[in-house]
Structure formats: C-alpha cells, structure tokens
Chains A and B, each alone.
Chain A
Amino acid sequence: TDSQHGVSSRKLERIKEEVAGYK
C-alpha cells in the first residue's frame, strides 16, 4: 500500500495505465 495515498500500489499503477489509454 502506498503510504501517502492509502491505495494499493498495484491498483494505482493499473488505474494510471487505464487513464493513459485515453491519450
């Protein structure tokens, strides 16, 4: 878990990739 954001790092990376897919 990312200590700053309280969200799973793996999940965060997955969402970042998902968002990047809209470029």
Chain B
Amino acid sequence: DAAKSIIDLAVYGSAQNRSYERLALFVDTIGNRVSGSDNLKKAIKYMYSALQDDKLQNVSLESVKVPHWERGKESAMMLQPRQKNLAILGLGGSVGTPPEGISAEVIVVSSFAELQSREQEAKGKIVVYNQPYVSYGETVQYRSRGASEAAKVGAVASLIRSVASLSINSPHTGWQDYQNGVPKIPTACITVEDAELMARLSSRGVKIVVQLNMGAVQHPDADSFNTVAEIVGSKYPEQVVIVSGHLDSWDVGQGAMDDGGGAFISWEALSLIRDLGLRPKRTIRLVLWTGEEEGGVGSSQYYERHKVNIRNMDLVMESDIGTFMPVGMQFSGKPEARVIMSEVMKLLAPINITKLYDNAEGTDISFWMQAGVPGASLLDDASRYFWFHHSEGDTMTVQNPIWMNHCAAVWTVVAYVVADLEEMLPR
C-alpha cells in the first residue's frame, strides 16, 4: 500500500504543507536567483546544507559553468507624442545602450512578416513588436529572435511586447539569442499595455519617439553547481529515476513559481519516501538544475557528464510549469512504457489525478528524452502560469500549500513506483 501511504502522508498527514513552508523560507531568505549571481550561490549553499540536514544520501554539488549577465539600471521613456514612462525589463543576454542611451523614432509591427515588408522604414529606428499572445511556444519566438530580426533591417534597438497571457502593466523578462554575424542591439520587453498604446498611436500616423537606457553587462561565465541528493536503490542502485526542478530563476520576483515549486516538490519526494521508510529497488536522484533560464546550461553539462550511463537511466522527471493543482502527468516514451505509466497513474485514484498525457516537457530533461530515455513532467492547472512567468509577480503569493501537497503526492508516487518495479521502463 505504498501509494496510499505516500498520498496520506503528503496530503493529509504530518508532511502536509511541508514543501510550501520550506519553499517560503527559502525564497523569503534568498530571494531571486539569476545565473551567475551571489544569490544563486547562496541558494545552492542553502540547499546543500538543507539536503544534508534532511538526512538524504550522497548530497553533492556538480560543478558547471553558467552565463553571468547583469541587468544594471534600465529605463525607457516615450518622449513623443507625449512623455510617458514605459515599464521595461531588459532581456537576458542583451547588450546595454551607450551611457547616454538611445533616442529614436519607433516603428510598430505585429509580426516578423510585417517587419520584413516594412524593412525600408525600420533603419535607424526602435522596432516595437506588438505580436498577439497565441501560445507561449509560438509567441516566445519574438522574445528570442526579435533583436536579431530587427538588427537585420537596420534597427537600433527592439522593444518586445511581454509574452504574457494577462497583464497589469507588468513587463516579463526572458532569455534572448543573438544570431551570429548580426549586430547586437539592446532589447527589452515592454508591457502589453504600452505595446498596444504605441500600436494605436502608430496606426493613427502619430510619430513616436522613445528614449531607452540599459546598463546591461555580460560578464565572463561563472562557476555554478547542479545540486544532487539521492535515496540509493536497494537492488539496482546503479539504475536511476531522476526527479528535478531548477534552482535558478530570473532576477525579478522571488522565483517561487518558476521554478521554486518544482524544485521543492522534487525535494519533498525524497523526504516523503525517507519518512515512510521506503527504499525502492532503484536509486531516486534529486537534481536541482542551475542555469536553466539561459537555455538548460546546467542540465546540458550534466547530460554530457553522465550520458555514458544512459542505459541505467530509467525515467527522467521534471516539474517546470508550475505547481498549481495537478491534473496529471505528461509522458514521452514508447507505447509499452506508456501502458505501464498508465497503470502507475491509476494508483493516484484516491486524489483523482490519474490522467496520463502525451509529450513530457522540460528543458532540463530534454537532452535525455531526445536520446530515448522515458520522460515525465507534471501537468497542472497552469492557466495562470503566464500571468506571473518571469515577472515581479512570481512570488510566494502565487503558491498554494494544498496544491503543492497534491503535486508532491503525484510526483512521489510515480517516482517511487517506477523506481521500485522489477524491470526498467521499456525503451
């Protein structure tokens, strides 16, 4: 009755609210944790100590190099047709402006196609992208590529409508990628409200001028660590189920949702199994990734270091789309493995979270899944996730202890049962 014991302990028993309370203490103490920052170093030290205090096995830090981008002071002001402050967040990896800033006329477009069709107008201007929010995966292209696409047509900077499904004048940051051979221009996100304002002004033929100041600096890569702890398997200790979330965050808000919740329900999974005196046949390994927000930097180095043992990797699990009320699990693997995972999910009937969906997702586990290892990701009611994502709104206030209890129960039952089955998942 292991599954029922886990559910009872996590949702109704003495461990209820523990992952929430641990997360609150952590983010209230450390704050946000951007790659290369002192805060991230403190966070890793904190977790290294906390996991040891929790009597987990093989607590260790695995060294990696991560980007170190620093935002600096930044501001934007619409100068014409009237003065208005624009709330901005520079994008990770962006170059800064000259100290005096950049003052230029604006061209507003709603798509890359429109930019191409109006390329003659864009030279020497600031490109404002007012792309509609379709989905995160589709719309985030403007944040990732907007600067380089604007630079190709001679723009001096780009301001991109935040990739947000709801806005209260809140800018959302994120990583952006410069293309090789294309000039690097400053790039930041503006609010949905200001993007729409400038789009309306522009549609009326009104000339818009914006002053942009960004003090961003790219430092040399910094030392960082993936944080690891285990419950060592009793029968096949070399075979591993990974449960994971990422410890780094953006430099705004608290990183409580992205991905504090995922990291702390993953820790909770090991704590619950330990509390119940369970010892699965295989090793359950907690990995708290570093440098995820810059493109899975810590996890890619982890993969390169450990892929020699890929045949022993049973299942890789990552929670990185929030820890709202869970609705099931996403899974990627062969049909034979899916049948088994469907059976495992039935064990969660007592809390009515039994659905198995397709297409596990998670930057940090993607390297393993692409190489054929079965992968699973927590699916929750993430309808509000992109309200807060990468913004000052990503705070503990988003989190809910009851939801986290349920997330931890789902996460732990799946990790434990798969780790304890007599055979590894087919692959």
Where the two chains meet, the residues of A that have a C-beta atom closer than 8 Å to any C-beta of B are 4-7, 12, 15-16, 18-20, 22-23
Please report the total number of B residues contacting A with Cβ < 8 Å: 22
Which residue of the partner chain B has the closest CB to A20?
B343
CB distance from A15 to the nearest CB of B (A): 6
**Could you list 10 examples of A-B contacts with CB < 8 Å?**
A5-B338, A5-B339, A7-B335, A7-B426, A18-B421, A19-B344, A19-B417, A19-B421, A20-B346, A22-B416
* Alpha-carbon distance A19/B338, docked complex (angstroms): 13
Q: Are A19 and B335 touching (Cβ within 8 A)?
A: no
- Checking B335, B347, B420, B421 against A6 with a beta-carbon cut-off of 8 angstroms, the contacting residue is B335
Q: Are A19 and B4 touching (Cβ within 8 A)?
A: no
Which residues of chain A have C-beta atoms less than 8 A from B56's C-beta? Answer: none
CB distance from B208 to the nearest CB of A (A): 59
- Checking B4, B338, B420, B421 against A23 with a beta-carbon cut-off of 8 angstroms, the contacting residue is B4
Known pairs A6-B336, A15-B423, A22-B416 / 17 extra A-B pairs, C-beta < 8 Å: A4-B335, A5-B335, A5-B338, A6-B335, A12-B339, A15-B339, A15-B343, A16-B343, A18-B421, A19-B347, A20-B343, A22-B2, A22-B347, A22-B413, A22-B420, A23-B1, A23-B4
Q: A7-B336, A15-B421, A16-B343 are in contact. Are A22 and B3 (CB under 8 A)?
A: yes
Please provide the 3 A-B residue pairs with the shortest distance between their CB atoms, ordered closest to farther: A19-B343, A7-B336, A22-B3
Counting chain A CB atoms within 10 Å of each CB, which of B2, B340, B421, B422 scores highest? B340
CB distance from A6 to the nearest CB of B (A): 6
Q: Are A7 and B2 touching (Cβ within 8 A)?
A: no
Q: Are A23 and B336 touching (Cβ within 8 A)?
A: no
Which residues of chain A have C-beta atoms less than 8 A from B346's C-beta? Answer: 19-20
Which residue of the partner chain B has the closest CB to A19?
B343
- For chain B residues 392-427, which have a beta carbon within 8 Å of chain A? 413, 416-417, 420-423, 426
Which residues of chain A have C-beta atoms less than 8 A from B421's C-beta? Answer: 15, 18-19
CB distance from A14 to the nearest CB of B (A): 9
Which residue of the partner chain A has the closest CB to B339?
A5
Q: Are B3 and A23 touching (Cβ within 8 A)?
A: yes
Which residues of chain B have C-beta atoms less than 8 A from A23's C-beta? Answer: 1, 3-4, 347
Which residues of chain A have C-beta atoms less than 8 A from B340's C-beta? Answer: 15, 19
* Alpha-carbon distance A22/B336, docked complex (angstroms): 20
Which residues of chain A have C-beta atoms less than 8 A from B338's C-beta? Answer: 5
Interface string of B317-358 (1 = CB under 8 A from A): 000000000000000001110111001101100000000000
Q: Are B343 and A5 touching (Cβ within 8 A)?
A: no
Which residue of the partner chain A has the closest CB to B422?
A18
- Checking A7, A18, A20, A22 against B339 with a beta-carbon cut-off of 8 angstroms, the contacting residue is A7
Which residues of chain B have C-beta atoms less than 8 A from A19's C-beta? Answer: 340, 343-344, 346-347, 417, 421
Which residues of chain B have C-beta atoms less than 8 A from A15's C-beta? Answer: 339-340, 343, 421, 423
Which residues of chain A have C-beta atoms less than 8 A from B335's C-beta? Answer: 4-7
CB distance from B57 to the nearest CB of A (A): 22
* Alpha-carbon distance A18/B421, docked complex (angstroms): 7
* Alpha-carbon distance A7/B336, docked complex (angstroms): 6
CB distance from B265 to the nearest CB of A (A): 19
CB distance from A16 to the nearest CB of B (A): 5
CB distance from A8 to the nearest CB of B (A): 10
- For chain B residues 2-41, which have a beta carbon within 8 Å of chain A? 2-4
Which residue of the partner chain B has the closest CB to A8?
B336
Interface string of B78-112 (1 = CB under 8 A from A): 00000000000000000000000000000000000
CB distance from B71 to the nearest CB of A (A): 48
Which residues of chain A have C-beta atoms less than 8 A from B344's C-beta? Answer: 19
CB distance from A18 to the nearest CB of B (A): 6
CB distance from A19 to the nearest CB of B (A): 4
CB distance from B2 to the nearest CB of A (A): 5
Which residues of chain A have C-beta atoms less than 8 A from B347's C-beta? Answer: 19, 22-23
CB distance from A7 to the nearest CB of B (A): 4
Q: Are A5 and B336 touching (Cβ within 8 A)?
A: yes
CB distance from A10 to the nearest CB of B (A): 13
CB distance from B4 to the nearest CB of A (A): 6
CB distance from A12 to the nearest CB of B (A): 6
* Alpha-carbon distance A22/B420, docked complex (angstroms): 10
